[in-house]
Amino acid sequence: MTIMKQAWMITRQDFRNNPYVMLWTLLFIMYLGFTMSFVVSMQLGESGALNPASDFVMLVLIPFLGFIYNRRTFKYLQEDSYTHMLAFLRILPIPVSAVIMSRIQQAVLAFIVNSVLFFILLFTLSGTLRVYAGTGFFVSFALTWVGYGMLIQAIYIHLEFLKKGKAYFWLSLVIMLVCGIIAIVVRIYGMNLVSTTAYFSKEWQLLSPVMWGALVAGAIGMFVSYRMTLRRLMKRDLA
């Protein structure tokens, strides 16, 4: 509990030092939601046909809902801002575990706030999704993808703490490349991830096994990321 309290103090201070961070974050998420509403053009008939680009865009962009967009986020490549932040925090009487936990807290808060705005825009602007209007469907579909986003966000958190800016950038591109490969492979086998998650959300709603599986996977991913990052960060040279 002490670690959680210390982490929350770091989180609150980070928000205080960046008073406009939520404004910029929400504007960016509104842009993502507006863009995705045109990409995701669902046809949930018997064939479950859907443009494979929707899979790729969802796989790539949903994890971004776990970021809070401030100067440090946009300057990580140019200034290696994450490493500089860690070097500064290391000289303070704050345990490394609290620093990592603070980042996880920020990711969870970002997912809660950003996902509400993102999926409201997606459901509102996507005419095909409105056909399946229903609270159970919307919540199940959103939570399914949030669970996936948490899983990939756990990887980004691990990279933020352990890699320099340029390495983090290139590894992020690798993650996007893997997302593209997954979308292509799924398409080759005549499937579509967005259609599949929508089908389960429509049929099972809040009892969807895909939704619960994704949320459990996301929670486990965060826990594993915390443990692995803590163990390796203690040995990292921040010079």
pLDDT in tens, 32-70: 888 877 776 544 443 445 567 788 888 999 999 998 876
Half-sphere exposure of 131 (CA within 13 A, CB side): 9
Alpha-carbon distances of 221 from 136, 148, 155, 226, 234, rounded to whole Å: 25, 10, 8, 9, 20
Of 45-54, 61-70, 105-114, 189-198, the one with minimum mean pLDDT is 45-54
Q: Quick one: pLDDT at residue 63?
A: 93
* Assigned domain for 128 exists: yes
Taking every pair of C-alpha atoms in the chain, what is the biggest distance, in angstroms?
60
Given a cut of 90, is residue 112 above it in pLDDT? Answer: yes
* Assigned domain for 119 exists: yes
More confident residue, 54 or 218: 218
Alpha-carbon distances of 43 from 86, 96, 132, rounded to whole Å: 47, 48, 11
How many domains are contained in the chain?
1
**Domain interval for residue 136:** 3-233
Half-sphere exposure of 121 (CA within 13 A, CB side): 20
pTM, to two decimals: 0.87
Q: Please report, rounded to a whole number, the percentage of residues in the chain having pLDDT higher than 70.
A: 80
* Assigned domain for 238 exists: no
User: At which residue do the structure tokens 């620093």 appear?
Assistant: 99
* Assigned domain for 239 exists: no
* Assigned domain for 36 exists: yes
| pLDDT (tens digit per residue) in 121-142 | 888 877 666 666 688 889 999 9
Q: What letters, b where the CB count within 10 A reaches 16 and e where it falls short, cover 54-69?
A: bbbbbbbbbbbbbbbb
